[in-house]
Amino acid sequence: MNFPYQIVPYCIRSLNFSYNSLANNETHIVHGTPITFETLQQKNITSQQLYLSFAPIDVVERYQAFLENAHSSLLTQIFYNCSVPWFGEFCQYTFNSKSTFEEFVLSFELNHLADYPFQNGTCYTFLQCDRGPKPSCLDWREICDGKIDCLDGGNDEFGCEELIANECKEDEFRCNNGFCIPKDFFNDLADYPDCMDDSDERSLAGNINNDVRSCDSFLSFKCEERTRRNERFLSCGNGACTMKECKNKRNLLLLQAKLSWNANSHLSVDCWTSLICLSVIFPNYAGLVDKMKCADKYVSESLFRQSCPTLFFFPAQPMVLNHVRFAYTKNFSNEYRHHLLLPHYVCYNQQLCEWLPATTVLINNSTCRTFSELNLDKALESGELLENIILKFFLKCSTTTNTYVQCPKSKPFRCANSSKCLSLSRVLDGIPDCFQGDDETIPNNCSLKIIQE
C-alpha cells in the first residue's frame, strides 16, 4: 500500500551547537538523569536494552566496548536517561510541544505540495566549499555525484574514487555508488529501494525520471535519503533531480545568485543590466531586473557597447560544470538566437576536454573557442535552453580531474581515445557521453557483458 507521506523522525543540529562545551559542562544537562556505565553494568543492563530504549547508537557502541573491557577508561562514561519528550546523547533535543510529530510532518507536506518559497534549502556545512554566490550552498547529495560543485578546489569530489572502487562481500549487493546492502534486499520492493541511488531495484535503476519527479510532490524516506551519481543532473535538494527546472525552484535560486549584480560587480550596473536584458530568458521572472528596463532591445545594445569592458566573463562564475564560462567582447558583432544574445566565446578547462583540439585563445588561463566553432546551430534551432545545450556538449569531457589507468569495476566502459570511464547504466541510454559517441554505438548487449566481465 502506498502512503502519501511517511513519518520519519529526524533532527537538525543547531549551527551554534558545540559538542565539546556540552560534553564538558554537565550544567547543560537538565532533561535527563546521568547514569555511569559502571552503574548500568551493576544493574545487568545490556547494550541491547540501551538500544531498545532509544539510546544514541554512539552511546550503545561505547557501552558494549566497556562491557567487553570493564577496566577500560570508559568506566566513568555516562548514559543520560532522558525525560519525555527529550532525546539525544545529552537529552538536548525535542520537537515542538505544541503539535505532534505527525502534525508537524503533515503541515510541512502541505507546504511541500504548494509552491512554498524555496530559500536556500539544507546546507551541508561540514565541508569547506565555495558553492557560488550566496545563498547558494552545497547540498549533501552533490557530494561524490561525479562533478565538481565546490569552486575552491573541488572538495566535494575529493576521495570519492575510494568509494567507487569499494568491493562488497559475497553475500552483499553492490550499489552503483559503491555502497553495499544485503543481497536479500536486491530487487525486493520497487517502492522502497535500499540503495540510495535506487540501483538495487531494476525497475528504477535504468530510468532517471522514473519515480524521481514524484519527490517534488510528496515526502518519504526514499526521497529524503536519495542521491544520484550522475553529472548530467542538478540535485533539487529534495530527492528530485533534473536537467531542466526543479519544481521547488532550486535551479532558479542558483541561477539568480550566479547572475546577480553582487556576483558580477566587475561590471558596471549599466553593462550588467544590458547583459541581463539581452541574454536571459524572462529576466523579470528570474527576479533580476524590471521588465520595463528591457523593453527596448536597441537601448540594451547601446548600453552594451558603451558601458561594457572590451573583453570579460559573464557571469563571473562558471555557467555549467564549474569550468565552462561565457565570455563577451565588443570587438565582435552580436549574434542572436531566439532573441537571446549568444556568448562570443565559450571557455573551458582543456585538461578535462582532451578531445577538443587546443586553441591559441586564452582568457584568464581558460582555453576559449568562438561560439561558432562549437557547431551547435542545429541544437540552437531546437529552442532548448542554451545552458542545457552547452551542458550536453561539455558532458563529453571528463567531469573530474581523475585519470584512470584502468577503469574501476563501477565504471568499466572507457570512451575511445579518452581517459573518461562510464558506468554500464550510461551505455546505450540514448545520450552520448563520449566525444566520439561510441557509448551509443556498441553493436549488442553481448559486448556489454564482455566489458562487465
pLDDT digits (tens, 9 = 90+) for 265-274: 999 999 999 9
Residue with cell 519528550: 85
Q: How far apart are CA 205 and CA 210, in angstroms?
A: 9
Question: CB of 271 within 8 A of CB of 301?
Answer: no
Tell me which residue of 378, 388, 385 sits closest to 281, measured CA to CA. Answer: 385
Give the global pTM.
0.68
pLDDT digits (tens, 9 = 90+) for 240-257: 877 777 877 888 888 888
Instruction: With cut-offs at 50, 70 and 90, classify the pLDDT of residue 9.
Output: low
Q: How far apart are CA 139 and CA 131, in angstroms?
A: 9
pLDDT digits (tens, 9 = 90+) for 416-434: 888 788 877 778 877 788 8
Pairwise pLDDT comparison (49 vs 201), residue with the higher score: 49
Give the cell for residue 242: 533534473
Beta strands 421-422 and 413-414 are antiparallel
Q: How far apart are CA 440 and CA 259, in angstroms?
A: 35
Question: What are the two backbone dihedrals, phi and then psi, of residue 239, each rounded to the nearest 5 degrees?
Answer: 100, -25
Question: CB of 187 within 8 A of CB of 195?
Answer: no
pLDDT (mean) for 7-16: 57
Instruction: With cut-offs at 50, 70 and 90, classify the pLDDT of residue 329.
Output: very high
Q: Is the pLDDT of residue 152 over 60?
A: yes
Q: How far apart are CA 99 and CA 8, in angstroms?
A: 16
Q: How far apart are CA 420 and CA 394, in angstroms?
A: 13
State CA 408 to chain mean position distance: 22
Residue % of the chain over a pLDDT of 70: 76
Sign, CA torsion 124/126/132/133 = positive
Name the DSSP letter for residue 8.
-
Q: What angle do CA 159, 165, 166 make, to 5 degrees?
A: 100
Question: Among 104-118, 266-280, 344-358, which stretch is predicted with the lowest mean pLDDT?
Answer: 104-118
Q: Residue 318: helix, strand or coil by DSSP?
A: coil
Beta strands 366-370 and 362-363 are antiparallel
Instruction: With cut-offs at 50, 70 and 90, classify the pLDDT of residue 83.
Output: confident
Instruction: Kindly report the average pLDDT of the chain as a whole number.
Output: 78
Q: What is the pLDDT of residue 1?
A: 41
Q: Is the pLDDT of residue 210 over 50?
A: no
Pairwise pLDDT comparison (28 vs 394), residue with the higher score: 394
For residue 377, which amino acid is it?
A: D
Question: CB of 181 within 8 A of CB of 424?
Answer: no
